[in-house]
Amino acid sequence: MQHSFVASCAFGLEAVLARELRALDLQEVRAENGQVHFKGDFLAMARANLWARTADRIWLRVGQFPATTFEDLFQGTRALPWPDLMPEDANFPVEGLSHGSQLSSVPACQSIVKKAAVEAMAARYKRKIFAEDGPRFPIRVALSKDLATVSLDTSGVGLHKRGYRLLTTEAPIRETLAAGMVLLSYWSPNRLLVDPFCGSGTILLEAAMIGLHQAPGWQREFAAEKWPAVGDQVWQVARQEVADRFDRTTKLRISGSDGDDQAIRLANQNLQRSGLEQRGITLRTRPLAQLATETEYGVLITNPPYGERLSDKQEVERLYTQFGNIVRPWLSTWSAYIITNHPEFVSCFGAEPQKRRKLYNGMIECSFHQYLGPRPPAP
């Protein structure tokens, strides 16, 4: 049976996520602001949860209808096929959001959706009170310009939670953004990848999983794994595909460094939890002044300090200048991809990128500076 799904993502990553979903052979993929629509069966949903590196969550769209009054919202929600999706013991909390709609009270809308879903369940199961002590079916009602969209969260915990990162540095980059940066780069598994501000190692680990065809969700669980309507067989097939695609032989060349010894300790712990510690990833404490290479046609991907506090601004600008003095000579053969929100990065770095892309690191609007070096010569 075909269903409509929505993969949510950070602004700026929609096109990347759409490419990911098309590569999974999902149907009718269509990108909008902050989300990508697709259609498929429950196996398609399981694949999206396991493989979508830049998605925040995968939502099952249960229904969409006009709602200008609370009665519209109640009747529209009650008519949806809740008993076909949720068992009698389902735990179905409701969250909501409203933008540009007459129904602007989110708590009231959540209460109405909950009541309507309970009534739909009551009609099927012939009872008025539900213990809700079974599997979770998180419901979201989104009201936009008087149109109500009611969805179920198939992911549960956000998809950026891969399972390898229990501890982080002070200003970590989200896993989904790190993966997006790698996917936007020219890096391939046969090229050296360097991150001189690696922090807890997120960019390096996301690159390694991409290079080894390791599904980002292989270590975690999803809300829909416990949904009877989906069934165990779907997840068994999807997880077997994950095991079959994993490259167990390639040795990568991925190097991370940071001036903070504590950050490198955290990165090593995360590397061990990822299960990829024998796959060519090296980590070391190294001040920026010692950054050097004799390799050509490498790729640098990094998230340097931003200097959010006024007191840090000059220090960060000096760091960017030093960084540029070291890296600019590499750019005759290297490619570099650097994300920051600092407005003076380019002038400090001393080189104009070929491309800029707006990306969001959490709530921070950033520029992704892309220095597109030549591709390596054919072997």
User: How many whole angstroms separate alpha carbon 181 and alpha carbon 141?
Assistant: 31
Report the C-alpha gap between 4 and 42 in whole angstroms. 10
Question: 119 pLDDT exceeds 80?
Answer: yes
pLDDT digits (tens, 9 = 90+) for 209-254: 999 999 999 999 999 999 999 999 999 999 999 999 999 999 999 9
Helix or strand (DSSP H, E) at 5: strand 3-8
Contacts of 293 (CB under 8 A, 6+ apart): 192, 194, 330
* Contact criterion met (CB below 8 Å) for 66 and 101: no
CA distances from 286 to 196, 206, 217, 260, 289 (A): 8, 21, 31, 8, 8
Q: In degrees, to the nearest 5, what angle opens at C-alpha 335 toward C-alphas 329 and 341? A: 95
pLDDT on residue 171: 64
What's the full length of the chain, in residues? 379
The Cα–Cα gap between 40 and 373 comes to 39
pLDDT confidence band for 311 (50 / 70 / 90)? low
Helices (H) and strands (E) in the chain, counts: 11, 14
Confidence of residue 166 (pLDDT cuts 50, 70, 90): confident
The mean pLDDT of the chain is: 95
Tell me the pLDDT band of 192, cut-offs 50, 70 and 90. very high
- Give the three-class secondary structure for 13: coil
Put simply, whether the predicted model's pTM sits higher than 0.85 gets the answer yes
Q: Using one digit for the tens of pLDDT, what is the confidence trace for 94-115?
A: 999 999 999 999 999 999 999 9
Find tokens 């501890």 and name the residue.
Answer: 167
Query: Are the CB atoms for 134 and 89 separated by under 8 Å?
Result: yes
How far apart are the C-alpha atoms of 200 and 270, rounded to whole Å?
7
User: Looking at residue 309, what is its pLDDT?
Assistant: 59
361 pLDDT tier (thresholds 50, 70, 90): very high
Per-residue pLDDT, 128 = 86
Q: In the Cβ-directed half-sphere of 43, how many Cα atoms lie within 13 Å?
A: 12
Q: Residue for token digits 């109500």?
A: 148
Whether the per-residue pLDDT at 159 is higher than 60: the answer is yes
Judge whether 109 and 96 are in contact, CB under 8 Å: yes
Q: What is the pLDDT of residues 256-279, one digit of tens each?
A: 999 999 999 999 999 999 999 999
Please, what are the domains in the chain?
3-153 (3.30.2130.30), 175-214+247-371 (3.40.50.150)
E-only strand ranges, 137-196: 139-144, 147-153, 193-195
pLDDT-derived band at 165 (thresholds 50, 70, 90) equals: confident
- Find the mean pLDDT for residues 19-24: 98
**In which band, very low, low, confident or very high, does the pLDDT at 379 lie, cut at 50, 70 and 90?**
confident
Alpha carbon distance 116, 63 (integer Å): 13
CA distance 371 to 355: 7
Q: Is the pLDDT of residue 307 over 90?
A: no
Distances (CA, A) of 221 to 20, 78, 133, 156, 332: 20, 30, 19, 8, 44
List phi, psi (to 5°) of 79.
Answer: -75, -10
